[in-house]
A and B are shown apart, each in its own frame.
Chain A
Amino acid sequence: MLFDSLAFLVAFPLFCVLFLRAPARSQPALALAGSLLACATFGWVALAWLIVITLLGFWLGRNIGASASGPRLAVAITAVVAPLLVLKYTNFFAASLQSALGWSGWQIQLPRLDAALPIGISFYTFAVLGYLIDVYVERIPPESSLYRFALFTAFYPKFVAGPVERGGVFLPQIDTPKRFDYARVTDGMRIIAGGLVKKLVVADRLAGAVNGVYGNLAAFHGVTLVLTAILYMFQLYYDFCGYSEIAVGVGRVLGYDLTWNFNRPYAARSISDYWRRWHISLTSWFFEYIFAPVAAGLRNWRSLAVVAAMMTTFLVSGLWHGAAWTFVFYGLLHGVGLCIDYLSAPARKRLRSWVPSRPYAFVAWAITFMFVGCADVLFRSRTIEQAIQFLGSMISGIPSDMAFLAAHHFNPAALKAMSSGLPTTKLDLVIAMIAIGCVETAAWIGRRRPFREQLLAQPVWVRWAVYYVVAGAILYLGSQNTATVFIYQQF
């Protein structure tokens, strides 16, 4: 049962009425029962793994809390991460080993694991790992109640694709009585509506064009592939940001505060700035639980410690996203980008004092945007060969396309002729562009105070005009989409 399914649209309001009217002491149990039921809609295997990791995490947390030691933590981490490693990476490592042996002249057939990755396992496994480390370093006490801990791992709004919450942030919220609060519930609904617009109006609309190009890559080149790369950047961002906002909104309606996962990532002016704005809950998790201990452990290496910790962190981040070499290189590419960002910081600081601030900011933004766009080609491609083919055709085709555009004095009709090659309807593209323009303008207006809060200060006709347009777009355009999934649920 995903957020954009009919089942959720029916079940969620009914559950809200039941949950917000229930006695405070029974609300955690009700939230847990509702979450487990919702998780069970993804299949009994998914539910079984959730229960196994939950029981394991709870017991190991109590164990570490009773007597913390490094070896005990190492065993606990290994035990919790083992199912994820086996289920997600066995076939990848077997195939890679088989290829490596094949190149060395050893032709052997390694067995494959025939098991689908249980939905949500990458997210709740990391939540449990963070909890165990927090207990070990005494940031939080071990949780004494199994059902409270189970709600931390299973809470449905964050089960499928995060946000990756910390025990210290989520667990204290569980016992607070949740009552119907008009301002809070309507705020949550506005956040959900924003997320649905991103997912149903933009991301699903762009998916057709992007899938069409990647499905027939040989037919495209140059500027068309540049446009595809940009469309995919927005598809990926709006898909995951849309999911995350719905999760935060659902949590808020129910009285829980979840982590805000995105902050205008494509406005970033450096790679480090980008990662402070993209998938914030997971990035901060990686920096706290991988980068910080590795960098601290190697601190005598000074700058090299940061470089080593950065590469380790982003290698793990790449692999977390998927068991494929494209994700390994995606992680390593961002790691290299961040190392360059870090090592060039003093030189860039000097440069900033010479160059006027606006041109400097524009160039910094453009470089960051292009870097992220190229890295996202790796993220989207099925194989390294496909990514190389995409980038190669894109770069080699640019000179001739630019010559064509220059011959037509860069008029919009010439650019339109190039985009007309995209496998999508003109209407879908126009709708997506208008929606992106509106959403990004609203995000820019709301960069200090959320747009939805500023909207409340507007006259009633302005507010309701916005609500009707948003609701109409979600219902009409959303109903035209063919069945799609959230990109990050596969991780």
Chain B
Amino acid sequence: MMSASAEQIMSELTPIFREVLENSALELSPDMTAKDVDGWDSFSHVKLIAAIEQHYRIRFRLRDIVKFRNVGDICGAICRSME
């Protein structure tokens, strides 16, 4: 069960993912990994992170970025950055 803020972040992340991965039908879920999404590879991941940071005006720690395993991890890092 996601908290309200996590759900809000997820809904904000959806258009960012759709734009970067050029997939207008993409629906995100917390346990979604790069393997589940066509076009989400090492290359597009860099663009995704940069786009998310720009949107939220935050800067992830390198240590957090290399640990991201799924969408939920990215949401968690955004939540922590905004606290």
B42:A293 contact, CB within 8 angstroms: no
Which applies to chain A's interface (DSSP): helix, strand, loop or mixed?
helix
| Docked complex Cα distance between A308 and B62 (Å) | 17
B67:A137 contact, CB within 8 angstroms: yes
A302:B47 contact, CB within 8 angstroms: yes
B66:A137 contact, CB within 8 angstroms: yes
A296:B42 contact, CB within 8 angstroms: no
> Which A residue's beta carbon lies closest to that of B49?
A299
Number of A-B contacts (CB under 8 A): 41
Within 8 A of A (CB), among B42-65: 42-43, 45-47, 49-50, 53, 62-63, 65
Q: Which residues of A contact B66 (CB under 8 A)?
A: 133, 137, 288, 292-293, 296
A299:B46 contact, CB within 8 angstroms: yes
Contact with A306, one of B46, B63, B67 (Cβ below 8 angstroms)? B46
Which applies to chain B's interface (DSSP): helix, strand, loop or mixed?
helix
A136:B63 contact, CB within 8 angstroms: yes
Per-residue interface assignment for chain B, residues 20 to 49, with 1 indicating a CB less than 8 Å from any chain A CB and 0 otherwise: 000000000000000000000111011101
Q: Which residues of A contact B47 (CB under 8 A)?
A: 302
Contact with B67, one of A139, A299, A302 (Cβ below 8 angstroms)? A139
| Docked complex Cα distance between A295 and B53 (Å) | 15
A302:B63 contact, CB within 8 angstroms: no
| Docked complex Cα distance between A138 and B53 (Å) | 22
Contact with B42, one of A137, A287, A302 (Cβ below 8 angstroms)? A287
Q: Which residues of B contact A292 (CB under 8 A)?
A: 42, 45, 65-66
| Docked complex Cα distance between A306 and B49 (Å) | 13
A305:B46 contact, CB within 8 angstroms: yes
> Which A residue's beta carbon lies closest to that of B54?
A300
Contact with B65, one of A272, A291, A296 (Cβ below 8 angstroms)? A296
A295:B42 contact, CB within 8 angstroms: yes
A302:B50 contact, CB within 8 angstroms: yes
Residues of A within 8 A of B (CB): 133, 136-139, 272, 287-288, 291-293, 295-297, 299-300, 302, 305-306, 309, 342
Lowest 9 A-B CB distances belong to which pairs? A296-B65, A299-B50, A295-B46, A137-B67, A306-B43, A137-B63, A299-B46, A292-B66, A342-B43
